[in-house]
Structure formats: C-alpha cells, structure tokens
Structure 1
Amino acid sequence: MSVNLQKGQKISLDKEAGSTLTRITMGLGWDAIKTKGLFGFGGKSQTVDLDASCLLFDESNRAVDVVWFRQLKSKDGSIVHTGDNRTGAGDGDDEQILVDLTQIPASVKSLVFTVNSFTGQNFSQVENAYCRIINGADQKEVARFNLSVQGDHTAQIMAKLYRHNGEWKMHAIGENGSGRTFDELMPKITPHL
C-alpha cells in the first residue's frame, strides 16, 4: 500500500514495502500545460520540462556525486537516470531514477531527491505533477508526493533516503524552493542533512 507523503513525515521504507528494499525507483510524472483557445476550441499545449535529480552525501554532509540529466549515472554505477523528458508527454512516469541500495558505497550516508522546473513554470501551472518511490522488486508504489500543490515555487526538495541502524529510511521533506537546477537548491538542502 502506498503512503501519501506529508511534508516532514518520516517512514521506514522496509516497513512500508513489507520486506527489505534492495532497489527503488524515484518516478516523476507530469502533463503539459493545456491552454484553451477562443471559445474553448483550438487549445495548445505548453511544453514543461521538469527534472528529477539525486544527490549523494557523505558522513560530513558533503555532496560526493549527483545524478541528473547532465550525468545519467553515479560514478559507482549504483544510481541511473533513465533520461531527460522535456515535455511530460505520455502516461506514467516521465523520468525515473533507478537506485540499487545494495551497491551504494558505505561512505554515502544519504540521498536527496529533488525536482526542478527547468523551463521555469511554477508547479501550480503544471498539471498532474507527482513524484513517487517504487519498490524495484515488485514495482509497487511505496510512497507518493503530489507536486501540483498550488504555489509559485519552481522546485522542490522531495525526500531524503538515509541509513539508520542498518536499514534505509525516508524523510519526506517536501520543501518548496526556486531554481532551474538542483545546485540552486543547495542552501535549502543543507539544513536537512
């Protein structure tokens, strides 16, 4: 059963999944903005490019790697981005980040997932935007966060995955921000590490 995440909520991914998680997927989905034409006819779609990123941090809360549309694989190969979707066209997840938790180096303490509007629209303008965590073993959704919360922000720090007593836990951060790429969010990410 999927948990609809609330800002600040902490969950054990193993408990939510019902077993030890070894692989997860962070999925991001959205639809293009539809505008109505004259008298409701002849509407157009406005392109929206949302981007999913995963930042890796060590014990000293120092960023040691990042997976995003300009670097689709972590240096150690444990995290892979499936590629940049620039339109939101199609059903289901538009971008995915695949994480093999068993292959993440022991020096990595936490992973932070972010979403940015590269084309600059704020999330209140983007239809059906969401991000979610999926159990890689059975493809069941473990947790979901609705991004289409009304607001004028262009970015969100979605969640942090972190090691605690030998298991991976997740903290749903849900903090709004602004910026076209993850690096503009770093000042807001740091307090959550």
Structure 2
Amino acid sequence: MFPSILSNQTHEVTNQMGIQLKKGERFNLSKTSPSLTKVAIALGWEIATKLNLSDSSPQSCDIDASVFALGSDGKIPDERYFVFYNNSQSPDGAIAHSGDNQTGQTQGDDETIYVDLEKVTAAVEEMVFVVTIHDAQAKHQNFSQIRNAFIRLYDRTTGSELARYDLTEAFSEETAIEFGRLYKKDGNWRFQAAGQGYKAGLQSFVDKYHSDIKNSKNFGEMPQIKQVTLPKIERNEASKKTPKAREIKLEKTGDSHKINLSKLGSSELLVVHANLDWEELENRSEFWGKQQGENGTPDLDLGCMYEMANGEKGVIQALGKNFGSKTSSPYIFLDKDDRTGATEGENMYILRPDLIKRVLFFGFIYSGVGDFETVRGRMFFKISNGEEVHIELDNPNRNRSFCGAAMIQNTGSQIVIVKKERYFKGHEEADRYYGFGFNWHRGTK
C-alpha cells in the first residue's frame, strides 16, 4: 500500500461583480450570474510610443483579437471554429467577431468577441482568446509599444461588467498574448486571466490548435510556422550520446539550468518532456526478490507534485490513476505506467510551463527492489527549443525508496530546472519537506 492522492486544492474567484482579476485568477460566471446567456469579451489597447521615429505622430498598430473554440482534445472541431477578422462567426452561431480595428486609436473597447452560451455546441468546451500584432516583424513592432491593454467580460443584456483583467506585465519582444480562456467545468462557465506573451504570430496558435488549416486561403501571406515535434527518448541511448552544444548535464545537487520564456523565437509554444529511465544493477534484484517474495523485477514510477500560478495543486502519477490532462489544467500528463523498464521508461509532459509555479518531479520504487542503490536511475528533460537536460540519480540513500529528483520553477520570465536528488521514505515525507501540503491516503495501482 502506498500514499495516493489526496484533496486537490484550487483557488477561484467567485461571487463578485465587476471583479478585477490578476494573472492566473479564475472567475465563475455561472455562479455569479446564473441567468447569464449572452456575454461579450472585449479587448482594448493604446499605442504607447511613436513607432516610426521619422514621423511626428504614432504609426498605426494593427492588433487583432481572435478566439479558438476547442473540443475535449484541445483542438478546434473544424476551421470555422477559429473566429478572427477573416471568419467573423462560428458555424453554430454562438461566437461572433465585432470586426477588424486596424489602428487601435478608438476610445475604450477596440475589438469584441460576442458569445451566446446557449448556442455553444456540445463539441466546444473551451475558448482561448489571443491578441496578435499583424505584420509585427516587418513593422518592427511588439507589445512594449502598447499600453493600457485589457480584456473585460460584460453581460450583453444588462451591459454590466462582470470581470476585467488589465495587462500590467512588462513585455519587450513579445508580439502575441494569450489573454484569457472561457471554459466549461462541472456545468459552469468560468474565465481565467492568462496574460502570457509570446514572440510569435497568429500562425503559431493556428499550428497549436489545428495543424490542418495553416494553408487556408484566409491567412493570405502569413508566414508558415513549423510545429515542434518532440523526439522520443530511446532507452539507454541518451547516456551514450556524444555531448553536444545544447546538452546540459546537472551533476551536483543544486545545479540548475534556465530557459527564457520570452525568447523562444516565433515557433510553437514551449513544451517540457520529462523521462524517467532505469536499469537494474547486476546481481542485486535477485537477492531482494527472494527476501521480499517477489520476482525481483524493479518497478519504478515517475510522478510529480505541482503548484500552479493560480494556487491549484495536485499530484500526477500512475498510483491512483492520476495521469493528468493534455487539454485542461494543469496541462501536465503522464503517458503510461511502465512496470518493467524494458521500454523507454515513463514520460511526462508539461504543455503550459508558463502557467506553473513549481513542479517537483519524483521517482519512487513501487516493487521489486528496496532502494535506489539497486537500480541505476536517470532523468532526462527534452525541451521543445532543442535543449536537453540530463540528471543522473547517482547518490542514493539506503532504505529510501522515494527520490525527489528535480524541480522546475517559473520565475515569470524564465523556467528553471534544478537538480534536487533528495531521498525520502515516501510521498508524505517528501511533501512535508517541500511544503505542498497535501492530505494523503493509502492506495495501490
């Protein structure tokens, strides 16, 4: 029997009218306004500086608001559920675009997305609102030249404002912002303020949410952005490779590697791929198996304890069948439970590292051997920017079957991978040390 999950802690802002949201906070529309059916999501901005220094007046800046209506798989059902300046309405009639404001020089709202919640098809579970600068690269424009940007939600029937998020983050090179998302959970419509900037264009989001429509005539001369595909980590191959420029080894406890979230280039959004691999040391597992009445085959599990920027906490691991989610918070998922280590080990993915506060990756021995002295454990991180981070679990403690291997932390502009390699008797002891504050109960696979 092993400790399993627990009470998942979340923090949401509810039951307030006209609330001012901060980055990462959530607002429950259905609880606040049970009769709400028609909502407007308005976006606005101002030009902060002269964009053409040879001109006495600010150059116009064409900023576009778009919405991707996603299904349970995190993709749009078809291309018509991408609503933007060249497709002003979704096929179910639930989502409509106010039109293209090409200057941003009006007062108040610049572009608005209208949503009729009663008409939203059952195939749509989430709407992601993004703002991009048209021809940003050619015009040498970015969000450092924009001020007073905001997104606000209001009741179209009464005109009353429900929630507002003012973008206060300082951006330098970013040309796109994921402003927020409207999603359905437990029968309630909720909104989350995102405020995450990217050095990318509209095509980057198209690639993310529906790769089949990137050649649509609606995109005109918009550059094609190739989607990043993470290579599989083949068993034992990574440790045999010749070191290369983008391969980082964290050798000592406390060693770290930083990845700049604001300088990823105009490609797919950052993804972190974690892999736990192991091999049994010769002549050790047979002895342990005899002592325990088992076959001696080590069964190691990869898992993580996470805390999101909005306060949500949880554990992902095969124990208790908590495999996470690809398409909803926390956007962290475990691919499988490898009982033998005979394949490529176990893999976990963080699809939205920009939304996390910290993630502790751990490995623990479920059966077969007694501690990490009897197996050779390794953890690898493949980052979608091409970097690889290698961690050897080479300093084990006897009679400790749980290893807090690495921590990923979000500092705002960077994510930092830190080698921890600290050994514990189990989940609860590790949790007390790192202060996640879970309530554990016994469980099995």
The TM-score range, normalised by the shorter chain, is 0.7 to 0.9
Following the alignment from structure 1 to structure 2, what is the Cα–Cα distance between the partners of residues 177 and 62? 20
Alignment gaps of 5+ in structure 1: none
SS in 1 for 2:118: helix
2:47–2:145 CA contact under 8 A, matched in 1: no
C-alpha displacement of 1:43: 3.3
Structure 2 counterparts to residues 69-80 of structure 1, below 5 A: 69-80=85-96
Following the alignment from structure 1 to structure 2, what is the Cα–Cα distance between the partners of residues 173 and 14? 19
SS in 2 for 1:63: coil
Match of 2:37 among 14, 18, 22: 22
Match of 1:178 among 199, 205, 215: 199
SS in 1 for 2:125: strand
Q: CA separation of 1:137/1:19 partners in 2, compared to 1, >3 Å: closer, same or farther?
A: farther
SS in 1 for 2:88: coil
Deviations for 1:61-94, whole angstroms, at most 9, x for unmatched residues? 2222210111111122111101000001221111
SS in 2 for 1:15: helix
Does residue 1:134 correspond to 2:134, yes or no? no
C-alpha displacement of 1:189: 9.6
Question: Greater CA radius of gyration, 1 or 2?
Answer: 2
Deviations for 1:1-58, whole angstroms, at most 9, x for unmatched residues? 3222222212201334x433211111111223443999xxx83121111111110111
Structure 2 counterparts to residues 133-172 of structure 1, below 5 A: 133-147=153-167, 149-152=169-172, 153-172=174-193
Does residue 1:63 correspond to 2:83, yes or no? no
C-alpha displacement of 1:192: 6.0
Following the alignment from structure 1 to structure 2, what is the Cα–Cα distance between the partners of residues 189 and 24? 31
State the one-letter code of the partner of 1:151: F
1:34–1:43 CA contact under 8 A, matched in 2: no
TM-score, length basis structure 2: 0.39
1:24–1:133 CA contact under 8 A, matched in 2: yes
Following the alignment from structure 1 to structure 2, what is the Cα–Cα distance between the partners of residues 130 and 167? 24
Task: Tell me the percent identity.
Answer: 33
Following the alignment from structure 1 to structure 2, what is the Cα–Cα distance between the partners of residues 77 and 145? 26
- Which has the larger displacement, 48-57 or 5-14? 5-14
Following the alignment from structure 1 to structure 2, what is the Cα–Cα distance between the partners of residues 149 and 192? 26
Following the alignment from structure 1 to structure 2, what is the Cα–Cα distance between the partners of residues 28 and 37? 24
Alignment gaps of 5+ in structure 2: 1-16, 209-267, 272-325, 329-445
1:124–1:148 CA contact under 8 A, matched in 2: no
1:48–1:119 CA contact under 8 A, matched in 2: no
Aligned to 1:97: 113
2:40–2:112 CA contact under 8 A, matched in 1: yes
- Which has the larger displacement, 64-73 or 112-121? 112-121
Q: Give the number of equivalent residue pairs.
A: 188
Does residue 1:53 correspond to 2:69, yes or no? no
Structure of greater relative contact order (alpha carbons < 8 Å, 6+ residues apart): 1
Deviations for 1:159-189, whole angstroms, at most 9, x for unmatched residues? 12111122201122222112231x3133449
Q: CA separation of 1:189/1:133 partners in 2, compared to 1, >3 Å: closer, same or farther?
A: farther
Q: CA separation of 1:37/1:25 partners in 2, compared to 1, >3 Å: closer, same or farther?
A: closer
Following the alignment from structure 1 to structure 2, what is the Cα–Cα distance between the partners of residues 188 and 112? 14
Aligned to 1:113: 129
2:67–2:83 CA contact under 8 A, matched in 1: yes
SS in 1 for 2:58: strand
State the one-letter code of the partner of 2:191: M
Instruction: Give the superposed CA RMSD.
Output: 2.5
Aligned to 2:302: none
Aligned to 1:2: 18
TM-score, length basis structure 1: 0.86
1:123–1:129 CA contact under 8 A, matched in 2: no
Deviations for 1:90-137, whole angstroms, at most 9, x for unmatched residues? 211111110101100011111111111114222221132222222222
State the one-letter code of the partner of 2:30: D
SS in 2 for 1:124: helix
Following the alignment from structure 2 to structure 1, what is the Cα–Cα distance between the partners of residues 135 and 168? 16
Following the alignment from structure 2 to structure 1, what is the Cα–Cα distance between the partners of residues 199 and 176? 5
State the one-letter code of the partner of 1:146: D
Does residue 1:35 correspond to 2:55, yes or no? no
